[in-house]
Structure 1
């Protein structure tokens, strides 16, 4: 991680399946209106990603190569969720569901030579405990679902030396409008940036360009697979 970087990139996804309005992008747009807060001396950039494996692969690579952000936060929608989930790790295999173009990766693998699991250097469990947002629960998750969100996250963790995050938001509803989700993202990202500023994390990122955790997990977030 470049300690001099002052850019944070936040992405949301476009329409797919029955989600003609994707709450992830609506939440990111609301975040853009709010900004990251006056105390956060970072530039916020937002980007919409298509629910398209091949296009995502190109765009994630360009984000890290061209912008060199200190953190990238990907936001996706979980159609069944009632809470916001902070995903600790990305998985390399299991991508059998087709994207909006009917494509899925060969053999369902993200990077053929990559580790099975890559964890974020940000403790999502710690962030979920501190990020208090009235009107919506913020929870910790160990399984991002093996679709384009998870695929995007794994690639971003790989390119960003673990300096990435994935947030799953619920669908929009009267009790969970885009304005609330945007405010929640602001609070969550503020806490993530505080995590990155903890002593010792810069050295950790320097030495762990593709940090993989075994199924049993470890102190950074326990990335064991969920029971189905």
Structure 2
């Protein structure tokens, strides 16, 4: 049986957020694995068949100085094949699949990803790095599965310029030196259990969404092709 190791990350605390999906969802995947994820309407073979899937949740502080070093240590310890980072977008209606990370960091008005230590003005994350990195997740395939499952989702080209984006940029910079590892970032909305017309999604639907991200990324990892990797 083929073993595939997955790290799913989130953040430990957002000010004013009682139920933090970026913490709850990775923990649920580590506890449950892919349990409860069943699909009967797909013509594609289940990519998890014959796979020993090992999911590790990593909780990070909302800190420029600490988030990437902690994740990097976890990557060196686990030696994952896939790394899926998550964060919170307070004003999103559904799941945001992030396409790229930009080489800018600042602390400003966006409290959802604001650095708790009040980091300084705008500056490059890596003065010698490229302007941006593109995700290594199969976005088209993931969005197609979201459509089958009725999970509201969108493409996003803006993970902000705060800790979420900085973590994403550092992760993809690391991945350029480890081409066998697939990595990317998914922004989760607020948890909304009561108002189908309002912002956010139920927690269980967000858990299912990241399960689908894992499953379709495993599919691409096992059978790479150029068509589903990115939507421009």
TM-score normalised by structure 1 residue count: 0.78
Task: Give the superposed CA RMSD.
Answer: 2.4
User: Are 1:174 and 2:193 an aligned pair?
Assistant: yes
Asked whether the equivalents of residues 5 and 68 of structure 1 are also in contact (C-alpha less than 8 Å), the reply is no
Counterpart for residue 73 of structure 2: 62
Instruction: Kindly indicate whether the alpha-carbon contact (under 8 Å) linking 1:84 and 1:170 is maintained by their aligned counterparts in 2.
Output: yes
CA drift at 1:22: 1.8
Q: C-alpha separation between the residues in 1 aligned to 2:146 and 2:90?
A: 22
1:118 CA displacement? 0.6
What's the counterpart of residue 146 of structure 1? 161
What is the aligned partner in structure 2 of residue 99 from structure 1?
A: 115
Cα separation, partners in 2 of 1:23 and 1:148, compared to 1, 3 Å: same
Gaps (5+ residues) in structure 2? 36-47, 109-113, 195-200
Partner of 2:221: 196
Which residue does the alignment assign to 1:14? 12
Q: CA deviation at 1:30?
A: 2.3
> After superposition, what is the alpha-carbon deviation per residue over 1:74-132, rounded to whole angstroms, capped at 9, x for unaligned?
1111100111011121111143335112224x742211211111112223233212334
Which consecutive segments of 4 or more residues in structure 1 shift more than 4 A?
none
The residue number in structure 2 matching 1:212 is none
- 1:1-228 to structure 2, matched below 5 A, reads 6-36=4-34, 39=49, 40-97=51-108, 98-104=114-120, 107-132=122-147, 134=149, 136-161=151-176, 163-175=182-194, 176-199=201-224, 220-222=230-232
TM-aligned CA deviation for residue 133 of structure 1: 6.2
Pair 1:111–1:48, CA change in 2 (3 A): same
CA distance in 1, matches of 2:7, 2:143: 20
Q: How many residue pairs are counted as aligned between the two chains?
A: 201
